[in-house]
Structures are given as C-alpha cells and as structure tokens.
Amino acid sequence: MHPLRGHRSYLAFLGHRLSGLALAVFLPCHFLALGLALEGAEALDRFLIFAELPLVKAAEWGLVVLLALHLFFGLRVLALEFTPWPSRTDPRLAWIVPGGAAALVVGLVFLVQVV
C-alpha cells in the first residue's frame, strides 16, 4: 500500500466507504426480495430457494459483516465530527480496531445462528 495510505484512519475511511458502496449495491436486491413477497408466494419461494445456495449464503454473511462495519465506523465518524477529540491529533483512533473486531463478532454470530 502507498505510504500515504497505510495508517488506521485511512483504513477506517476505506472500510466505511467501500462497505457503504457495497451496501448501496445490495440494498436494491434486498428490496427486490421484499417486493417479491408482495407479488405472491411462488415468486418469493423461488427467490428463497436461490437464497439457500451456498454461494449466496456466503455473500449474505459478507453483507452482514459489511453492514456491521459500516455501522461501527459510522459511529466513529459521528463521534469525531460531533464531539471533542481526546487530543488534537487523535480522531478517535482507539475506536477503529475494536470497531472492526465488533463487525467480525457480528459476522460470527450470524454464522452460528444461520448456517
């Protein structure tokens, strides 16, 4: 990685931005699935069978992790924009690694519950 970019707050920016973009791509599919439920049981059933495929399950897991990551990194952004910083050069750096870890824990819970 370029030496300008290999530090925590840059990586947090990347994580927040890329997970946000991925969610923007995913959400229309999610609403499509919900929309199918309105159209009748058959269409929804077909979609649900598709959603049981292992690859789709794996993608779902990824999306849950991304959603959690976006949430935790987003909370950090809110904190650093709305509350005073611990020190002038510390944009709540200490929240970044736990935020990423918490997203993985959420992913783990999803694995145990769903798969």
Partner 1 sequence: MNSDHVGLLTVRVWRGREEGRFETYRVPARANQTVLDVVTEVQRSQEPALAYRFACRVGVCGSCAMTVNDRPRWTCRTHVARVREEGILTIEPLRNMPRIKDLACDLTPFFEKWQKAGGRHVATASRRDPLQKIDPRSKPRLAASAAIECINCAVCYSACDVVSWNAGYLGPAALNRAWTLVNDARHGARHETLDRAFADGGCASCHSQGNCTRHCPVELSPSESIAGLKRSALFGAPKLREPA
Interacting residues toward partner 1 by CB under 8 A: 2-5, 7, 9-10, 13, 17, 77, 80-82, 85, 88-89, 91
**3-class DSSP state of 75:** helix
Smaller CB distance to partner 1: residue 89 or 113?
Answer: 89
Tell me how far, at minimum, the Cβ of 62 lies from partner 1, in Å: 23
Tell me how far, at minimum, the Cβ of 78 lies from partner 1, in Å: 11
DSSP class of residue 7? S
Smaller CB distance to partner 1: residue 52 or 88?
Answer: 88
Query: Measured between alpha carbons, how far is residue 97 from residues 7, 12, 41, 93 in Å?
Result: 12, 9, 43, 8
Residue 17 exposure: Cα atoms within 13 Å on the Cβ side: 6
Smaller CB distance to partner 1: residue 80 or 107?
Answer: 80
